[in-house]
Amino acid sequence: MSETLRLAIQKSGRLSEDSLNLIKECGIDFNKSDNKLTSKAFNFPIEFLFLRDDDIPGYVEDAVADIGIVGENVLAEKGKEADVVEKLGFSKCRLSIAVPKDFPYNGIASLAGKSIATSYPKILGDYLKKNKVNAEIHEISGSVEIAPNIGLAEGICDLVSSGSTLISNGLKETEVILESQALLIANKHLSKAKKSLVEQLLFRIKSVQRAKNSKYILLNAPANSVDTIIGLLPGVKSPTVMPLAQEGWVSLHSVVKENEFWEIVEKLKAAGAEGILVMPIEKIVI
Ligand code: PRT
Ligand code: ZN
């Protein structure tokens, strides 16, 4: 029987939608119904296990799942053994220490002898130990941000993304302990056949990721400014240049990095480019 890869995904939560979208963008089709815990893809040998995110590192370590998508924060907290195959670039957040706005904070030593509420006792404990600070860790499973206001703890250690939860609870962020994003993780002892399936999946993920960071650009330019414009547009290999019906003019096609686009566009205009079109790219296979 040929191998099927078992992928653990968060059942419902902040990671779920982006995880499923990534799989779909990789051209893998499947049905997901809300009450089912597993599902099989139609056109790739992969089966999905829908789990709580906290359980994913353990399932991958124990080979119940071969691979999983989980936040770096959860992988680090659970302390389970798994290989990090790829950083996926979504669900970005940070695990930070925060204290009430009026707390006289002068560095991590200010927390000596204080109590800190968190759902991340392992990561926080390791951090305090590394910094030789003796503080009491108060483990709670949710609504950590209200702990100082109800007198449960003097500080907190929790996930932050926009920072608005801290602000609305009268807290200030004082230390970033861990920067996190979604990871593709794999069991450390996969068979050769399963490793090869992970490679195929990773190849597709990378093509999707490259495309997300890039735009396809088309423009018209006077033929005598082609060299200057080529210098501005590296492209995947090098830009395509085609003559226009109007003599002395060419059309250039290339790929630009999303984050460099606005800087490049000014230079292109200065070099005589006109009719600049920018389009999304679905996949870049190299
Ligand atoms: O039910 P299950 O156990 O599967 O889910 P969960 O409730 O434990 O996790 P979930 O779905 O809330 O989050 C899953 C993962 O998303 C986390 O482990 C992180 O890797 C990632 N992530 C990214 C976040 C955030 N951003 C985030 N902002 N997880 C939680 N938050 C919370 C944070 O705890 C705080 O309450 O959002 C609040 C802060 O947000 P800001 O924008 O106000 O700063
Ligand atoms: Zn969870």
pLDDT digits (tens, 9 = 90+) for 59-83: 999 999 999 999 999 999 999 999 9
Name the closest-CA residue to atom 4, ligand 1: 52
Report residues whose beta carbon is within 6 angstroms of any ligand 1 atom: 10, 13-15, 52-54, 71, 73-74, 91, 93, 158-165, 180
In the β-sheet with 5-10, what is the strand arrangement from edge to edge?
38-40, 46-51, 5-10, 67-71, 182-186, 83-87
In this structure, the answer to whether residues 44 and 65 fall within a common structural domain is yes
In this structure, the answer to whether residues 41 and 108 fall within a common structural domain is no
Tell which atom from ligand 1 comes closest to the C-alpha of 10: 4
Alpha carbon 162 to chain centroid, angstroms:
15
- Residues 46, 23, 213, 76: is their CA dihedral positive or negative? negative
> What pLDDT, on the 0 to 100 scale, is given for residue 1?
59
Name the closest-CA residue to atom 33, ligand 1: 159
Which pLDDT tens digit goes with each residue over 16-34?
A: 999 999 999 999 999 987 7
> Ligand 1 centroid to 184 CA: how many Å?
17
Name the closest-CA residue to atom 2, ligand 1: 52
> Ligand 1 centroid to 14 CA: how many Å?
6
- What is the residue range of 234's domain? 213-280
> Ligand 1 centroid to 93 CA: how many Å?
8
Tell me, what CATH number does 59's domain have?
A: 3.40.190.10
Counting ligands in written order, which one lies closest to the CA of residue 14? 1
Decide if 270 is inside a domain.
yes
In DSSP terms, which residues pair with 158 in a beta bridge? 96
Which pLDDT tens digit goes with each residue over 219-246?
A: 999 999 999 999 888 776 788 999 999 9
Name the closest-CA residue to atom 13, ligand 1: 14
- pTM of the predicted structure, to 2 decimals: 0.92
> What pLDDT, on the 0 to 100 scale, is given for residue 168?
98
Q: What is the mean pLDDT of residues 262-270?
A: 92
Decide if 222 is inside a domain.
yes
Name the closest-CA residue to atom 18, ligand 1: 71
> What pLDDT, on the 0 to 100 scale, is given for residue 236?
65
Q: pLDDT class for 99, splitting at 50, 70, 90?
A: very high
In this structure, the answer to whether residues 207 and 268 fall within a common structural domain is no
Decide if 101 is inside a domain.
yes
> What pLDDT, on the 0 to 100 scale, is given for residue 35?
81
Closest CA to 232 of 273, 277, 278: 273
In this structure, the answer to whether residues 12 and 56 fall within a common structural domain is yes
DSSP state of 104: -
Decide if 45 is inside a domain.
yes
Indicate the residue among 193, 211, 229 that finishes a domain: 211
> Ligand 2 centroid to 139 CA: how many Å?
14
Q: Give the lowest-confidence range in 31-40, 109-118, 120-129, 221-230.
A: 31-40
Decide if 286 is inside a domain.
no
Number of domains in the chain: 3
In this structure, the answer to whether residues 82 and 206 fall within a common structural domain is yes
Which pLDDT tens digit goes with each residue over 133-182?
A: 999 999 999 999 999 999 999 999 999 999 999 999 999 999 999 999 99
> What pLDDT, on the 0 to 100 scale, is given for residue 282?
92
Decide if 124 is inside a domain.
yes
Q: Which residue has the higher pLDDT, 199 or 286?
A: 199
E strands, the chain, where? 5-10, 38-40, 46-51, 67-71, 83-87, 93-100, 115-118, 136-139, 155-160, 171-180, 182-186, 214-222, 240-243, 249-257, 274-280
Decide if 285 is inside a domain.
no
Name the closest-CA residue to atom 11, ligand 1: 13
> Ligand 2 centroid to 92 CA: how many Å?
15
Cα gap 67→23, rounded to integer Å: 13
> Ligand 2 centroid to 178 CA: how many Å?
17
